[in-house]
């Protein structure tokens, strides 16, 4: 082992790369220098193009962005073999004062997703990670089937040759797949990751976090969600599959289950106590329930049961392509506060709710949403409301409707690519 470390040390000094075979795309069914632990209960599988269980696992590999590439996958259908699977890096040479950043991509899609943990430890200590402290850990659903998120872990604090280990753990459910791809070791400090209330979500959560005082998690997704006839076609920021949005997947939760996303802290004060919260939402699906925004003191319980929402909208509001802006005044915020966005699951799988482009500014919202009978529906509903005494909501939509042989191609006001109200024949099919 000593001589192997020396080889890596020389290799590292001469090329600037330590741990030969560390960086790996897992293409060509190749683990590079990584190995499967033999003291865990399961071996990860190389996979591509979707997994055996529905409603869990990635649709595409991260390297190629399509079904041709390969990623490493914890298949939850095999969970009877045991919960934990550990992947071990090649030994990395210790170099005094060298910094190391471990970077990888993960997909965690499935209501009952387990956990992903990263360890770094002297190789000579052995590979039983159950006795070690993880440097990074995340659990529960984080993404939809198309999105991958980047994680980085500072593994610099070493005193001898070391191993990086990635542990993927399932729950007792089949909907608990986890996949990783494109692992790299950077000989630099990990880049700063800023926390920001204002977020497009295109590069991740910006410090927004999943509540644990709720029933399930929001998921970051890239395009069309798992189920037809619900969920947005693309994100709001980019209008194509390059951007990400948060959504709740209607396939899995039970009626009235709640998922809550919590913002970074905003500093309210006596001199700055009025704020305008803006976010965009897509609520397309016959059985959509509701979306609420809460403004609550920082540090207070995030159990929202007794709170009054500052904003609520219920039932289907949009078609597949349209996003509507919500403007919410937050007044009398004389101390630190956060915003909680809560989605409530409806009675069927046609209940996806999506949000994107969240911002807050130190002023009351401009009241450009004048209530008006005359409305071209370009900016929303102008105060027109959905009846609750009927069977279905009209939906604002942009461009063509979902069914190719029904509905108008373009709206009447400007003749192209704008919004119109319509009913959807699919909505009446039970
Ligand atoms: Ca194993
Ligand atoms: Ca790959
Ligand atoms: Ca976005
Ligand atoms: Ca949650």
pLDDT score for 239:
94
Q: Do the Cβ atoms of 389 and 327 come closer than 8 Å?
A: no
| Matching residue, tokens 């690519």 | 417
For ligand 1, the distance from its centroid to the CA atom of residue 346, given in whole angstroms, is: 39
Backbone φ and ψ for 82, nearest 5 degrees, come out as 130, 155
User: pLDDT higher for 309 or 390?
Assistant: 309
For ligand 4, the distance from its centroid to the CA atom of residue 261, given in whole angstroms, is: 7
Q: How far apart are CA 349 and CA 360, in angstroms?
A: 32
- Residues facing 116 on adjacent strands: 138, 168
Question: How many angstroms separate the first and last alpha carbons of the chain?
Answer: 66
For ligand 2, the distance from its centroid to the CA atom of residue 107, given in whole angstroms, is: 12
For ligand 4, the distance from its centroid to the CA atom of residue 246, given in whole angstroms, is: 13
Ligand positioned closest to the Cα atom of 257 = 4
Ligand positioned closest to the Cα atom of 222 = 3
User: pLDDT higher for 403 or 171?
Assistant: 171
Predicted confidence band of residue 57 (pLDDT cuts 50, 70, 90):
confident
- Tens of pLDDT, residues 345-360: 999 999 999 999 999 9
pLDDT score for 34:
97
Q: How far apart are CA 141 and CA 58, in angstroms?
A: 12
Predicted confidence band of residue 197 (pLDDT cuts 50, 70, 90):
very high
For ligand 4, the distance from its centroid to the CA atom of residue 331, given in whole angstroms, is: 27
Q: Model pTM greater than 0.75?
A: yes
Mean of the per-residue pLDDT values of the chain: 84
User: pLDDT higher for 394 or 113?
Assistant: 113
Burial of 370 (0-12, 13-18, 19+ CB in 10 A): exposed
User: pLDDT higher for 327 or 14?
Assistant: 327
Ligand positioned closest to the Cα atom of 111 = 4
- Tens of pLDDT, residues 134-190: 999 999 999 999 999 999 999 999 999 999 999 999 887 777 789 999 999 999 999
For 392, the 3-state DSSP assignment is coil
For ligand 4, the distance from its centroid to the CA atom of residue 241, given in whole angstroms, is: 25
pLDDT score for 375:
66
Q: How far apart are CA 9 and CA 15, in angstroms?
A: 10
Report the candidate in 123, 151, 149, 147 with the shortest Cα–Cα distance to residue 135.
151
The count of other CB atoms within 10 Å of the CB of residue 362 is 12
For ligand 1, the distance from its centroid to the CA atom of residue 161, given in whole angstroms, is: 22
pLDDT score for 372:
60
- Residues facing 220 on adjacent strands: 143, 246
Ligand positioned closest to the Cα atom of 355 = 3
For ligand 1, the distance from its centroid to the CA atom of residue 39, given in whole angstroms, is: 7
CA distances from 192 to 38, 101, 152, 206, 327 (A): 35, 12, 10, 12, 31
For ligand 1, the distance from its centroid to the CA atom of residue 164, given in whole angstroms, is: 15
Structure tokens at 315: 């039932």
Ligand positioned closest to the Cα atom of 85 = 1
pLDDT score for 95:
93
For ligand 3, the distance from its centroid to the CA atom of residue 141, given in whole angstroms, is: 18
The count of other CB atoms within 10 Å of the CB of residue 279 is 24
For ligand 4, the distance from its centroid to the CA atom of residue 138, given in whole angstroms, is: 12
Separation of CA 316 from chain center: 22
For ligand 2, the distance from its centroid to the CA atom of residue 73, given in whole angstroms, is: 11
% of the chain at pLDDT higher than 70: 79
pLDDT score for 52:
60
For ligand 4, the distance from its centroid to the CA atom of residue 141, given in whole angstroms, is: 9
Q: Do the Cβ atoms of 178 and 91 come closer than 8 Å?
A: no
For ligand 3, the distance from its centroid to the CA atom of residue 237, given in whole angstroms, is: 4
Ligand positioned closest to the Cα atom of 36 = 1
Ligand positioned closest to the Cα atom of 34 = 1
Q: Do the Cβ atoms of 33 and 89 come closer than 8 Å?
A: yes
Residue length, the chain? 430
Q: Is the dihedral of CA 398, 402, 404, 407 positive or negative?
A: negative
- Tens of pLDDT, residues 36-48: 999 998 888 898 8
């Amino acid at each position: 082992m000593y001589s192997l470390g020396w080889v890596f040390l020389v290799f590292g000094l001469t090329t600037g790369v330590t741990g030969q075979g560390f960086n790996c795309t897992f293409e060509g069914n190749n683990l590079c220098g990584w190995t499967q632990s033999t003291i865990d209960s399961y071996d990860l599988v190389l996979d591509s193009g979707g997994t055996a269980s529905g409603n869990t696992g990635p649709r595409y590999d991260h390297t190629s962005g399509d079904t041709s590439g390969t990623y490493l996958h914890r298949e939850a259908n095999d969970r009877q073999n045991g919960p934990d699977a550990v992947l071990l890096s090649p030994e990395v040479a210790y170099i005094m004062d060298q910094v190391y950043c471990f970077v990888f991509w993960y997909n965690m899609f499935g209501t009952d997703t387990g956990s992903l943990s990263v360890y770094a430890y002297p190789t000579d200590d052995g590979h039983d990670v159950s006795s070690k402290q993880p440097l990074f850990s995340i659990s529960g659903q984080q993404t939809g089937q198309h999105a991958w998120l980047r994680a980085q872990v500072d593994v610099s604090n070493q005193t001898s040759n070391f191993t990086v280990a990635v542990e993927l753990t399932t729950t007792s459910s089949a909907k608990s797949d986890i996949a990783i791809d494109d692992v790299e070791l950077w000989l630099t400090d990990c880049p700063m990751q800023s926390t920001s209330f204002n977020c497009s979500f295109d590069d991740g959560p910006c410090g927004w976090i999943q509540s644990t005082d709720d029933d399930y998690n929001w998921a970051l997704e890239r395009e069309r969600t798992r189920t037809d006839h619900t969920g947005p076609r693309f994100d709001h920021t980019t209008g194509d599959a390059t951007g990400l949005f948060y959504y709740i997947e209607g396939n899995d939760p039970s009626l009235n289950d709640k998922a809550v996303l919590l913002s970074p802290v905003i500093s309210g004060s006596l001199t700055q106590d009025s704020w305008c919260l803006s976010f965009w939402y897509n609520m397309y699906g016959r059985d959509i329930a509701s979306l609420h925004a809460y403004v609550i003191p920082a540090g207070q319980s995030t159990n929202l049961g007794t709170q009054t929402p500052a904003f609520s909208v219920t039932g289907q509001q949009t078609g597949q392509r349209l996003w509507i802006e919500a403007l919410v005044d937050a007044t009398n915020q004389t101390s630190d506060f956060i915003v909680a966005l809560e989605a409530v699951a409806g009675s069927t799988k046609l209940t996806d709710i999506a949000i994107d482009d969240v911002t807050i500014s130190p002023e009351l919202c401009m009241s450009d949403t004048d209530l008006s009978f005359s409305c071209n529906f370009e900016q929303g509903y102008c105060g027109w409301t959905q009846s609750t005494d009927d069977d279905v909501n009209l939906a604002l939509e942009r461009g063509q409707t979902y069914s190719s042989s029904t509905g108008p191609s373009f709206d009447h006001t400007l003749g192209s690519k704008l919004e119109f109200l319509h009913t959807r024949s699919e909505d009446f099919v039970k």
